[in-house]
Chain A
Amino acid sequence: MAERILISPVTRIEGHAKISIYLNDSNQVESAQFHVVEFRGFEKFCEGRPFHEMPGLMARVCGICPVSHVLASSKAGDALLGVEVPPAAVRLRRLINYGQILQSHALSFFHLSAPDLLLGFDSDPAQRNVLGLAERDPDMARRGVRLRQFGQRVIELLGGKRIHPAWGTPGGVLNPIDGRARDEIAGWIPEALSSVQMALGRMKALIDQFPEEIENIGNFPSLFLGTVSETGGLEYYDGPIRIVDAEGNVVAEGLDPQRYHTFIGEASEEWSYCKFPYYKPLGYPGGAYRVGPLARLNVATHAGTPLADRELREFKQRFGPTVNQSFHYHLARCIEMLHCVEKIDELVSDPALLDKHTRARAGQNRNEGIGSAEAPRGTLFHHYWVDDSGLMTKANLLIATGQNNIAMNKTVEQTAKHFVDPKKVTEGMLNRVEAGIRCYDPCLSCSTHALGKMPMVLEVRDRRGAVLSRYQR
């Protein structure tokens, strides 16, 4: 009899989801689905609000990556004003984004994924968490806490608070940075650099212990999409979009993020509140692409900072010009953390950072504006339409986690097919399915624009949909 295994709630990710594993008549895994089961509707309830309020409203989409939403929203506002943002504001926006990516990656790597990597996928689930990590390797756990604290502090010093800092605004940022805050950030750099290098070294050494997971958790050909600098390097704030394929060929180059809707389509499925974006020329679902740390490293030719450049070269030499194994999102995250610390150092060493002119003022000059930025989990687009009074008539948010939705579903299916034995389901098997999702560090609060954290349920169902067994944490 055909069955379905359902994992719900999924643990150590942000938001609510469940995983269904469908079995065939031979009791083998036939397919799997990753369901996002929460709905928030930010796009709808911002209608009628003045567009100047949008960065503050959009910060509330997420408690983990509010800065990314503030930046994309502010940039959409820049477009509505039609202004050139002062250079100091651009530097400050970049600085807060590096702080955001650093704290988010530190949380994902040290707190959510390191327990699997350091304690093992089959270790006691009661210990397989940050407390278990603290027992096994307290120095690493402490460094993880401090690194995230550093990123949070950058956000707090610039935005006034760690969570939901509505400091970005159409035309720039609300306040400049003062010398004392700049110096405090600079004071953190040596420790942050040391911690990231330690994590990176540990991750590189650990990789060889997981050949089966690397081969079978999210290892498939797909496109990769990300923002690059004008010279093709790593870029998080502004630049053209590049898309590469599974072999490293450039599929599209110099795409204007302001025209994202011409090359990205958005499909939906009745079993998930999360959209399924795809690369339009290849259709749905053939145009599946991945975004985020791994995608950014795949599309970039170089990092642009000395230490990250060396690591990126080694990464590409070791795993190929395009790295298709989603397991390597973890290592990519570590390399990005290194790059962020280097870029923060670079920015706080620039006296121009203290320039007081941080906001261009203008009235509304357009009725449609698009803003994009690289969020921790990938490329983020905010698209606003406003009436002549500056009131929002429509919004479309294209979120990084949503853009990985097709890939996450493929990952769940591939992982389940390889690791799950329906006759004897073990906790370790289910943890690997969850771990496949955690590679992407999905933020479902963002992607459904929801509240709360993301526990996971796994159910076994027959082909007719009857639940035969259920696992819940």
Chain B
Amino acid sequence: MRVLLIAVGNPLRRDDGIAHRVLEILDPDLAAGATALAVHQLTPEIAEDFSRHEIAVVIDADLDPGEAYLEEVLDPDRPALLGHELDATEVAALARKLYDWKGACLLCHVPGADFAEGGGFSDEAEGNAWRAARLIEELLASPSST
């Protein structure tokens, strides 16, 4: 199965960019079979990238504390779309409507603790990046189980 990994966030806002770190630490052998994109924000044209994959995993920092986790975006028809950027739900909805996409969209939450201006990551975010990487590696190892 073709898997798309999209890391979302701004690396100049500390933990906001933790998704980019997840892409860096993924097992290269497993990651080699997936398409990886690193972006600051989700935009409408990413719907087309979704359409070319069976599974789209959006990796994003989470303001809520806790451990990294994966969840499936189950209700992709919520129409908000107020501005120039979209969330994973909206991109998935757009992909379904524009390209009749039948794939699965997963959101990988990576909780952070420090979203101030600057580089580097908090210990919490760094730990969660490794947990997120393991979860995604499990998915890449057996994507059909999704």
A: residues with CB less than 8 A from B are 9, 11-14, 60, 63-64, 107, 111-112, 126-127, 129-132, 134-135, 138, 141-142, 144-146, 148-149, 152, 162-164, 452-455, 473
Contacts and interface: CB of A to CB of B under 8 A. Distances in A.
Contacts of B98: 134, 138, 141-142, 145
Contacts of A127: 79
B84 A129 contact: no
Which of A13, A111, A138, A163 has the largest count of B CB atoms less than 10 A from its CB? A111
A455 B40 contact: no
20 contacts: A11-B82, A11-B83, A12-B82, A14-B83, A60-B12, A63-B84, A107-B43, A107-B44, A130-B44, A131-B81, A131-B93, A131-B94, A131-B97, A134-B98, A135-B97, A141-B97, A142-B98, A142-B99, A148-B43, A453-B84
Contact of A12 (B83, B90, B97): B83
A145 B44 contact: yes
Interface string B28-60: 000000000001110111011000000000000
Contacts of A453: 82-85
A130 B45 CA distance: 12
A163 B45 contact: no
Given A126-B79, A134-B97, 13 more contacts: A12-B81, A14-B84, A64-B84, A107-B43, A112-B84, A130-B44, A142-B99, A145-B45, A145-B48, A148-B43, A149-B45, A164-B40, A454-B82
B82 A455 contact: yes
Interface in B111-134: none
Contacts of B39: 162-163
A132 B84 contact: no
Nearest to A164: B40
Nearest to B49: A149
A213 to B, nearest CB: 21
Contacts of A164: 40
Interface of B: 12, 39-41, 43-45, 47-48, 77, 79-85, 90, 93-94, 97-99
Which 9 pairs across A and B sit closest by C-beta, in order of nearness? A453-B83, A134-B97, A149-B45, A129-B81, A11-B82, A163-B40, A131-B79, A14-B84, A145-B45
Contacts of B48: 145-146, 149
A149 B12 CA distance: 24
Contacts of A63: 40-41, 84-85
A132 B78 CA distance: 11
A130 B81 contact: yes
Contact of A134 (B41, B45, B85, B94): B94
A141 B97 CA distance: 10
Contacts of B43: 107, 148, 152
A392 to B, nearest CB: 18
Nearest to B41: A63
Given A131-B93, A145-B48, A163-B39, A107 B84 contact: yes
Contact of B44 (A132, A144, A163): A144
B97 A138 contact: yes
A152 B43 CA distance: 11
Which of B48, B77, B83, B85 has the largest count of A CB atoms less than 10 A from its CB? B83
A111 B99 contact: no
B119 to A, nearest CB: 13
A142 B99 CA distance: 8
Contacts of B80: 129
Contacts of B47: 145
B45 A454 contact: no
B80 to A, nearest CB: 8
Nearest to A66: B40
